Structure 1
Amino acid sequence: MRRLDRQQGSARTQWLTFVAVGAVSAGAAFWLNRPPPAHDASALHVGNAASSAQPARALGQDPTAGAATAGTLPASLEGSSPPPLPTDGHGHLARTHAVREFFDYFLTTQNEISATALDALVRRQIAAQLDGTPAAAEAVTLWQRYNAYLTALAQLPPTSSNPNQSGAKLDLDALQLSLDQRDAIGVRLMGEWSEPFFGAESRQQHTDVARLRIASDSSLSDAQKAARLAALDTALPPETRAAHERARQQQAALDAIGQAQKQGGSLDAMRAQITQTLGPEAAERVVQMQQADDAWQARYADYSSQRAQIDKQDLPPQQRNAQIAQLRQQFFSNPSDALRAASLDRGSGSAN
């Protein structure tokens, strides 16, 4: 029974982890190990950011505006709402990161619509929120400056190191130089908006490089590395320290749950082991989730047994598929459960 669901084991373990310790903020994930969004290539990928700057280079030059000029949102944004543009209470644009979030929301469509259409879309949405206030013109000007920043970013030479490439060796000096160049471009082109747009992110990136330098310093003992990393963490803002702690909790949860499941002991043994790492409340939630999953697996085993009987009948494909679909509905009335069963069917080569 466990073998049939092995392909979902990792996903289930992570699910149990989030139940145990809560969702971890995306800000806690190190930028060095995540693929950069299209609108914000990381320092490691800055040489590949040319597509990010397409809006700036092509504004007013693209003769085709695309569907977005008709006043509708691009397909990828349908059903969602643009983030609100904040004002300071006096009609001016508030200097916060939320303004970048507004621009980035639309920049996700840059490979979907033309640059001219994207520019027109952003201007319309600015007017829809801020028309009649000084903030409207301020937002348009800032949008142009942000595009200029992206264009300049794309013109930086690529760094030689990419930790996402297997076997690649980090060149920390190159990473540091790239970060410094990005910071300088931000200050030069964004001015007073550089801090709210990029400040927190830049500090996190510089801290990550500092951590890597400590971790890779062969002249330091493990104790010295731990002491220096602790000192580095102490200097971080409280919210960043909290994000790092949540990341550590998540990893501890993954380790504890994975170890408990690997040992294959009783639920009481799992509860005891996880309690040592995460506490009794989290352990109880994990055990409850495991109990529910065990019950589901038992139901799937019964379903699989009856499905095998249908397979043995050597029916025409259409008739066989109809009978399996009906059987699946009988065992799994919840649509998500039925989808999970169908996925396992496909994995075992018995899909209809």
Structure 2
Amino acid sequence: MRRLERQRGSARRQWLVFVAVGAVSAGAALWLNRPPPARDVAAMRVVNAASSAQPALASGKDMATGASTAGGLPASLDGSSPPHLPTDGRGHLMRSRAVRDFFDYFLTAQNEIPAATLDALVRRQIAAQLDGTPAADEAVTVWQRYNAYRTALGSSLQPSPTQGPSGAKLDLDALQLSLDQCDALGNRLMGEWNEPFFGAESQQQHRDLAHLRIASDGSLSTAQKAARLAGLDAAEPPEARAAHERAREQQAALDTISQAQKQGGSLDAMRAQITQTLGPEAAQRVLQMQQADDAWQARYADYSNQRAQIGKQDLPPQQRDAQIAQLRQQFFTNPSDAMRAASLDRGSASAN
């Protein structure tokens, strides 16, 4: 339970950072909510990829908890809308990262419903957007390729080289091999879709690995390391450099907010500390979000108490889940708030 609370606290600070530095786009949120900071992205790719590559199966308990009414969205997606599948203006599917975003939207619910149900759901949603165009069949084919890639990735990769005794040195050669395996599988199974799905991500991960090699090279002086790292940064595409700069700003904001929260004190004291680093407008936005989140957390606590009372009743799983879903809608009329509450519910269940 303490680990769950730490995770919630970290996610809460990241959420406040989005407002403090203005990084509120969906892309920024998805990136910053990943567990590792920028320097660890390469080291974590294998862990993340292997985890997401597991077949979309769930236990009977998970299915009962997550699935909504037949033909509808799983509980965690209820109230939201899938991303748009782009076409090229001639009825064909555009080769874009947005296609992967569409599939990943549904894959977030892969542990809530059986694999066959997930597959049928994705196909229905493809038809809803693209029915009557060549893009519909093309999207189904890409979906099948993506599943084959994820399954192959999960079964072929060796255990992560980041795992080992505490303090053990990272095996960069093993990490390089794992990244190369990801690339090779993508080229073989995704074909022409490998680049739009994984190209930018793969390039960034290989650059991160190059950074790790330089930083861990004991034969280089501090000045030499700094020069080589600067050379790598200078060779990056402008959009990558801009992303790194945003990441640095966001990390600085996260550190500032974290330090202010650790020190406690009044809201005025927190405002003064954040203002000094981020400016008055950012400080005001952070404090407003802090106050709103405190109110949300109090509402969630009340909801959790009533949800626990339902859980203590001797009800069939479907009836119990229906009552909890109804209770959640009563407390959280905003769909995004309801999704957030459902996510915390699943986190509490897994922690127990």
Which structure 2 residues correspond to residues 1-352 of structure 1 after superposition, within 5 A? 17-23=17-23, 25-26=28-29, 33=36, 42-44=45-47, 51-52=54-55, 70-162=70-162, 166-255=166-255, 275=276, 278=278, 282-283=279-280, 285-286=282-283, 336-337=294-295, 339-340=297-298
SS of the equivalent of 1:91 reads: coil
Q: CA deviation at 1:16?
A: 6.4
Q: CA deviation at 1:157?
A: 3.1
Greater helix percent: which structure? 2
Matched-pair identity in %: 63
Q: CA deviation at 1:272?
A: 8.9
Relative contact order, higher structure (CA 8 A, sep 6+): 2
* d(CA) in 1 for partners of 2:76, 2:299: 29
- In structure 2, the residue matched to 1:321 is none
The C-alpha deviation readout for 1:273-312, integer Å capped at 9, x for no partner, is: 964x55xxx146437867998xx8xxxxxxxxxxxxxxxx
Quickly say closer, same or farther: Cα 1:163–1:27, change in 2 above 3 A. Answer: farther
* d(CA) in 2 for partners of 1:108, 1:263: 35
The C-alpha deviation readout for 1:65-96, integer Å capped at 9, x for no partner, is: x9689422222221111111110000000110
- In structure 2, the residue matched to 1:61 is none
TM-score normalised according to structure 2 size: 0.64
Q: CA deviation at 1:194?
A: 0.5
- In structure 2, the residue matched to 1:326 is none
Quickly say closer, same or farther: Cα 1:175–1:156, change in 2 above 3 A. Answer: same
SS of the equivalent of 2:210 reads: helix
The C-alpha deviation readout for 1:186-242, integer Å capped at 9, x for no partner, is: 111111110000001111111111111111111111111111111111111222211
Q: CA RMSD in A?
A: 4.3
* d(CA) in 2 for partners of 1:188, 1:114: 27
Q: CA deviation at 1:22?
A: 2.6
Write the letter of the residue equivalent to 2:172: L
Contact kept in structure 1, 2:56 and 2:113, CA below 8 Å: no
* d(CA) in 2 for partners of 1:143, 1:241: 32
Quickly say closer, same or farther: Cα 1:208–1:335, change in 2 above 3 A. Answer: closer
Q: CA deviation at 1:23?
A: 3.0
* d(CA) in 1 for partners of 2:206, 2:264: 40
SS of the equivalent of 2:156 reads: coil
* d(CA) in 2 for partners of 1:136, 1:269: 52
For structure 2, list consecutive stretches of 5 or more residues without a partner in the other structure. Answer: 1-7, 38-43, 59-65, 302-352
Contact kept in structure 1, 2:16 and 2:289, CA below 8 Å: no
Write the letter of the residue equivalent to 1:286: A
* d(CA) in 2 for partners of 1:70, 1:339: 31
* d(CA) in 2 for partners of 1:77, 1:12: 20
The C-alpha deviation readout for 1:85-129, integer Å capped at 9, x for no partner, is: 110000000110111111111122222111211111111111111
TM-score normalised according to structure 1 size: 0.64
- In structure 2, the residue matched to 1:306 is none
* d(CA) in 2 for partners of 1:203, 1:221: 27
